[in-house]
Amino acid sequence: MWWIFIILLIQIGDTRKVADILWNSSNPIFDISNTDHVINVQINDHIHIECSDPSNQYEYSMIYMVSEEEYNHCYLSENSRVFGICDNETNQSGGIRHTIRSVNPTPGGFEYKPGNNYYLITTSDGSRDGIDRKKDGLCTERNMKIKLVVGNEHSPKFAARTYTKDSPFSDNNEQVMYVIHDDEDDSSSNSNIYFTLFSALLSLFIIVY
């Protein structure tokens, strides 16, 4: 699985931080009269959800990633996944940090596809005792939900090539990752940098092994 780390290394230079999101019913982004809760992101963006608001009462919340149906009707199913927890016991830092990844090195970690939408809700009611509610809660009462829209911004494409036993580079079959470079992106300096970096790493791997 060494190639996963090479992909992550290439992606390091193409990250940005989305504005902090205050997960509290006092936040005007949850006002049903606007669409501020619809947030456009790109692969490798960093999201920070802030749980604590000094000017308002602390709200205990389990935040779930859900289907569009669950998002629209504020309920959880067996397929809902915990995205983060806002409580003073397990979240001492007061926030949840998350990266929009297309490849996640953590087994079972969240992965995102460009062009897709992802949905976050809380059905907790804000109290300590009501943090485990599975329906309605602040999602219904205060519209506490977020829609993440993952953009189609171009990123390097990857494929696998298998060296055979007859290959001069290897005595055994082993997979090597390489970049498929689109001609239409030749003007992009970032893509060129990544392609050069990846080529150097690939050459080093072939020499070492």
What average pLDDT does the structure give for the chain?
A: 76
Q: What is the pLDDT confidence band of residue 105, given thresholds at 50, 70 and 90?
A: confident
Using DSSP's 3-state secondary structure scheme, residue 50 falls into strand
- Packing angle of the helix pair 2-11, 189-208 (nearest 10 deg): 150
Q: Letter for the amino acid at 132?
A: D
Contact 172, 165 (CB under 8 A): yes
State the Cα–Cα distance between residues 88 and 66, nearest whole angstrom: 24
Contact 44, 100 (CB under 8 A): yes
State the Cα–Cα distance between residues 209 and 207, nearest whole angstrom: 6
| Residue 126 host element (H or E) | none
pLDDT at residue 178 tops 50: no
Domains of the chain: 16-150 (2.60.40.420), 157-208 (no CATH)
pLDDT at residue 115 tops 80: yes
Overall pTM surpassing 0.75 (yes/no): no
